[in-house]
Amino acid sequence: MTIAAIERPREETGQTAIPANPQALLKAVLKANEGTKDARTRELLDSLIRHVHAFATETRLTYDELHKGLDFMVSVGQATGPKKHEGILLADILGVATLVLLMDAKAVLAAGGTEPALIGPFWRANQPQRANGAYIASEDTVGSPLFVRGKVVSIDGTPLAGARVEVWQAAPGGLYENQDHEQEEMNLRAAFETDVDGRFWFESVRPSGYGVPIDGPCGALLALQGRDHMRPAHLHFIAIAQGHKVLTTQIFDAHDPYAYSDAAFGAVGSLLRNFEPDSNGHFHLDVELCLEPGVMRIPTPPLA
């Protein structure tokens, strides 16, 4: 077959070669995306394509650098497993997860509601249902006693009875139980149901700060940036109520040495609180979780 024979069909159908300059190439790639049927997906891909092309142009990205970046993305996927979600960790340490949460919560924040915070990579499915007042730490968990009193309300202050509140925290040693084979299964995890006044309460131990996992590509990225990998001590909460958007948040110990340099950029606004000590060395924390009316979409736990 001759070269002329190969080229003839293209001439007959009016096809043209892929453009060789950046501006025309971008137009061609965007044109190819027009066949994406879902409008929102098409919008997201259009914006992604524009920004990626602009990034490559602005930084004069080399082919070698491109492949290093692609290799990094592959390593993020390979580092994700039953006990760690490296992709969530990457979104956290780049501040993207907090940015998206704050944009989603614009209405409730304008009304003075609770700031959202990262769901994080360590929420587990089927956390044990416990009665209000339960002690959620195993008998061998050593730490300063902590008593938490909480209330779930709608944005107008109406108490939300029967709301589900998921709670989890790291042990005082800085590890979640799924990371530590010496801890009892589901230690420092619980699910509660609010009473008729929207209240829930439980006993635990005061959490400590800990470092995000640095044994994978995200750890290498933090080292490259010269950043610390520590997070301030905190408790995780997810509040779920019919007719309301799900609230995912964290409450941070304002006296933790890393309270103002959270590696995951999650310690925002009023989420920094004083864990108040009493004369017996027990700590107390009062929490109000304010939910915005809307569609209840429960996130999928990262861990089984």
**By CB neighbour count within 10 A (0-12 exposed, 13-18 middle, 19+ buried), where does 132 fall?**
middle
Q: pLDDT tens, 1-33?
A: 444 444 445 555 556 677 789 999 999 999 999
Question: Contact at 8 Å (CB) between 241 and 152?
Answer: yes
pLDDT at position 4 is 47
Q: pLDDT tens, 35-75?
A: 999 999 999 999 999 999 999 999 999 999 999 999 999 99
Token pair in block for residue 154 = 């709608």
Question: Contact at 8 Å (CB) between 200 and 235?
Answer: no
pLDDT at position 33 is 97
Q: pLDDT tens, 147-157?
A: 999 999 999 99
Q: pLDDT tens, 105-119?
A: 888 888 878 999 988
Which of 119, 84, 123, 112 minimizes the C-alpha distance to 98?
Answer: 119
Per the prediction, the chain carries an average pLDDT of 92
**pLDDT higher than 90, residue 273:** yes
Question: Contact at 8 Å (CB) between 147 and 285?
Answer: yes
The whole-model pTM stands at: 0.82
- Give per-residue burial for 151-190: e unless 16+ CB within 10 Å, then b: bbbbbeeeebeebbbbbbbbbbebbbbbbeeebeebbbbb
Confidence band of 243 (pLDDT split at 50, 70, 90)? very high
pLDDT at position 10 is 53
pLDDT at position 11 is 53
Confidence band of 120 (pLDDT split at 50, 70, 90)? confident
Q: In this prediction, what percent of the chain has a pLDDT beyond 90?
A: 80
Walk me through the domains of the chain, giving residue ranges and CATH numbers: 86-291 (2.60.130.10)
Q: How far is CA 204 from CA 182, 266, 303, in A?
A: 18, 22, 22
Token pair in block for residue 261 = 């340099």
Average pLDDT over residues 163-172: 96
- Give per-residue burial for 37-49: e unless 16+ CB within 10 Å, then b: eeeeeeeebeeee
Work out whether strand 145-154 and strand 283-291 pair parallel, antiparallel, or are unpaired: parallel
Q: pLDDT tens, 175-215?
A: 999 989 999 999 999 999 999 999 999 999 999 999 998 99
Longest pairwise C-alpha distance within the chain? 93
Q: pLDDT tens, 276-302?
A: 899 888 999 999 999 999 999 999 998
Confidence band of 122 (pLDDT split at 50, 70, 90)? confident
Rounded to an integer, what distance in angstroms lies between the CA atom of residue 200 and that of residue 273?
18
Q: pLDDT tens, 248-271?
A: 999 999 999 999 999 999 999 889
